[in-house]
Amino acid sequence: MNYLNTVITGTGCYIPEQKIENKDYFKSIFFEKDQTLIKGSGEDIVRKFRDITGIRERRWVTKDQTTSEIAALAAERAIKTGNIDRETIDYIIVANNFGDVVKGTIQTDLLPSIAARVKNKLGIQNPGCVAYDIVFGCPGWIQGVIQADSFIKSGLAKRCLVIGAETLSRVVDVYDRDTMIFSDGAGAAIVEGVESDEKSGVLSSATVTHTKDEAFYLYFGQSNKPDSDPDIRYMKMNGRKIYEYSIINVPKAIKAALDKSGLPVEQLKKILLHQANEKMDEAIVQRFFKFYGIKPEISEVMPMSISELGNSSVATVPTLYDMILKGKLKNHIINKGDIIIFASVGAGMSINAVVYRQ
């Protein structure tokens, strides 16, 4: 029996060269959202932050780089790895949240879309290559893969380029300690239909969005600095609410995706989870396996890059995947036939998960 499988045939990522270490924040002054001063030395605040999140450093783009530029760099690497003719790409799907934000400005720029800019930078002339953006919070790249799978399985496309790219350093408030979580980066994948006598690639998926109470856990708001201009806004989050929401709902979504695949949990080799907070991610994976009465060895099943790369939103999962495939993440490999899960949670609040056979 022949199956039409949705398979990732090429990957690439761009990790910015500018490294921002925790010690770079030792002299920072932070305020709460009510604009009261956070007492204690910057060094003490940073150490507490490290203990909670696991982040030691993060990467930021240089002043002359934008989201569309690093997205195109990751795409070029995916095209090269996949060894494909770029003119045969049917869709370019770019997950991002803020578009291009030029250094020193306060405006996001999505005209034209980041995907259109990427197509332009890649020099693709085929008008049948349709380029569009997804604004879906941190789960955007995975949602792009889910959409590509639908296009391929329905016959609307044979090959898609799915990119997650973001420059969060351009939209953070330097007086907010949450600034230290966020980073920049881009990850890309060639996703295409491949016929085979066995099922592989995307096996199943699950997606949910909660908005009754959760819609504004991540939002745009005024700087924490006293007397700041209320018309200039930055990315803000309710970290405690996000943590509580995620550890309850993300394990359920991952379980829904795995159960839909019909595979036993014992076959699962890796969970590539959005890198948002080390302790939160560990709690999510532990709670997921608890559904099946299993206590996993977290360090083996959940690869982590957050310590060095921070939270680059839509770029974290594809970047992590590319690093593993190319032998750039210590102690982690993915072999042909392995069952892995991509999963993420973010603004909206939205969660998704994809079960994938390598």
Gap between the Cα atoms of 307 and 291, Å rounded: 28
Instruction: Judge contact between 137 and 215, C-beta under 8 A.
Output: no
State residue 222's pLDDT score: 93
Contact partners, residue 65, CB within 8 Å, separation at least 6:
16, 167
**Region class of 137: left (phi > 0), else alpha (psi between -120 and 50), else beta:** left
Three-state DSSP state, 3? strand
Q: In the block, which residue shows the tokens 């204690």?
A: 40
Summarize pLDDT for 17-64 with one digit per residue, the tens: 999 999 999 989 999 999 999 888 888 899 989 998 999 999 999 999
- What is the per-residue pLDDT for 191? 98
pLDDT of 254: 98
> How many other C-beta atoms lie within 10 A of the C-beta of residue 71?
34
What the block records as the tokens of 131 is 């380029």
Give the per-residue pLDDT at 147: 98
Measured distance CA(284)–CA(348) in Å, rounded = 19
Residues of the chain with pLDDT below 50 are none
The pLDDT assigned to 32 comes to 92
pLDDT tens-digit series, residues 321-331:
999 999 999 89
> What integer pLDDT is reported at residue 201 of this predicted model?
96
Spatial CA neighbour of 201 closest among 72, 9, 1, 347: 9
Question: pTM for this structure?
Answer: 0.94
Q: Look at residue 42 in the predicted model and tell me its pLDDT.
A: 80
Query: Of 11, 65, 20, 86, which is closest to residue 309 (Cα–Cα)?
Result: 20
Tokens of 204: 């199943």
pLDDT of residue 39: 87
Would you say the C-alpha torsion 18, 19, 23, 28 has a positive or negative sign? Answer: positive
Best CA proximity match to 81, nearest among 188, 153, 177 = 188
* Cβ partners under 8 Å of residue 112, min gap 6: none
Question: Distance between CA 340 and CA 129 in Å, rounded?
Answer: 29
Q: Which domains does the chain have, with CATH numbers?
A: 3-196 (3.40.47.10), 201-357 (3.40.47.10)
> CB count, 10 Å around CB of 1?
6
Q: Alpha carbon of 107 to those of 31, 98, 117, 172: distances in Å?
A: 24, 9, 17, 13
